């Protein structure tokens, strides 16, 4: 049985003024595409996009750039199923400053499962300020909450009520 990964790969390469597109179509019709911008910042491409399985490795290639787009993305602004960056947006988003997605972490976190350092909002949320169905933190607004100042059905800490009314301007 021959190993197709050891065969040379003939990409279709299209160079533009802004960057390079690299494409490959597998015999079964699946495609691999990658875009890398010419401009660079902080030692990485300004924009990097990947889609599909890399024909050279048989794996998904990680998109790495200031703006990274791919199944797995790493960058300052990362968008992908698994995204890691300063600002991360994806099903699993790990952001230093902001994480958004189904399961996310960051100083600010917004998602179904939001683990925030300062602020978390989601179905399950944590943070200094936490808003969610199930939430834990110092200032908590939830259906079921745990924290120092909690506002939830059946329990309304006056300090929490004042804090969240000011925060939400209601």
Each residue of 9-19: pLDDT tens digit? 889 999 999 99
Contact present, 151 and 164 (Cβ < 8 Å)? yes
Phi, psi dihedrals of residue 163, rounded to the nearest 5°: -60, -50
Q: What number of CA atoms fall less than 13 Å from residue 107's CA on the CB side?
A: 5
What pTM does this model have?
0.88
Predicted pLDDT at 123: 97
CA distance 148 to 73: 37
CA Rg, the chain, in Å?
A: 22
Q: How many CB atoms lie within 10 A of CB 112?
A: 15
Each residue of 30-84: pLDDT tens digit? 999 999 999 999 999 999 999 999 998 889 999 999 999 999 999 999 999 999 9
Query: Is the pLDDT higher at 2 or at 84?
Result: 84
- Could you write out the three-class secondary structure of 80-146? CCEEEEEEEECCEEEEEEEEEEEEEEEEEEEEEEEEEEEEEEEEEEEEEEEEEEEEEEEEEEEEEEE
* pLDDT tier for residue 1 given thresholds of 50, 70 and 90: very low
Each residue of 106-117: pLDDT tens digit? 999 999 999 999
Predicted pLDDT at 170: 63
């Amino acid at each position: 049985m021959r190993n197709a990964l050891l065969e040379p790969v003939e990409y279709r390469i299209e160079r533009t003024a802004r960057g390079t597109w690299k494409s490959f179509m597998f015999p079964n019709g699946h495609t691999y595409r990658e875009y890398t911008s010419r401009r660079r910042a902080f030692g990485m491409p300004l924009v990097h996009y990947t889609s599909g399985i890399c024909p050279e490795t048989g794996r998904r290639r990680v998109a790495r750039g200031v703006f990274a787009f791919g199944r797995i993305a790493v960058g300052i602004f990362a968008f992908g199923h698994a995204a890691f960056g300063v600002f991360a947006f994806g099903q699993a988003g790990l952001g230093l400053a902001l994480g958004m997605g189904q399961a996310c972490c960051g100083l600010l976190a917004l998602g179904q499962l939001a683990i925030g350092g300062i602020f978390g909002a989601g179905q399950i949320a944590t943070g200094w300020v936490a808003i969610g169905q199930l939430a834990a933190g110092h200032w908590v607004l939830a259906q079921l909450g745990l924290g120092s100042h909690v506002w939830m059905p059946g329990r309304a800490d006056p300090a929490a009520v004042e804090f969240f009314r000011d925060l939400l301007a209601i």
